[in-house]
Amino acid sequence: MKRACISDCLILVILLTISSPSSFSQVTEPSSEDQAGLEEILEKCADYCHKLANAALDFVCIEKIKEEMFFHPQMLVSQYGTRYTSVGRTTRKNVYVYDYQLIRKKLQIKESRILIEENGKKKNEKNAGLKTHMFGHEHIIFGPVGLLSEFWQQYYAYRIVKREKLKGERVIVVEAIPIPYLETDNLYGKVWVRKGDFSIMKIEWEPKSLKNYELIEENAKKLNAKPLIKLFSEYAFEKNGIRFPSRYLITETYIHKRGTRFTRSKTTVTYKDYKFFTVETEVKY
In a domain, 243, yes or no: yes
Model pLDDT for residues 219-246, shown as the tens digit of each residue: 888 878 899 999 999 999 999 999 999 9
Q: What letters, b where the CB count within 10 A reaches 16 and e where it falls short, cover 201-232?
A: bbbbbbbebbeebebbeebbeebebebbbbbb
CB 264 within 8 A of CB 70: yes
In a domain, 13, yes or no: no
- CA atoms of 61 and 47, how far apart (whole Å): 26
Domain that holds residue 222: 21-55+135-279
Mean pLDDT within 238-256: 93
Mean pLDDT within 159-174: 94
In a domain, 35, yes or no: yes
In a domain, 125, yes or no: no
Please state whether the predicted TM-score (pTM) of the whole model is above 0.95: no
- CA atoms of 285 and 270, how far apart (whole Å): 33
Report the candidate in 192, 233, 231 with the shortest Cα–Cα distance to residue 211.
231
Report which listed range, 71-75, 112-116, 176-180, is most confident.
Answer: 112-116
CB 175 within 8 A of CB 189: yes
In a domain, 112, yes or no: no
In a domain, 164, yes or no: yes
- Which pLDDT value is given to residue 91? 79
Contacts of 87-92 with CB under 8 Å at 24 or more apart are 92/68
Model pLDDT for residues 104-140, shown as the tens digit of each residue: 988 789 999 999 999 999 999 999 999 998 788 889 9
Number of domains, the chain: 1
In a domain, 258, yes or no: yes
Model pLDDT for residues 3-55, shown as the tens digit of each residue: 444 332 222 222 222 223 233 334 455 555 566 689 999 999 999 999 999 99
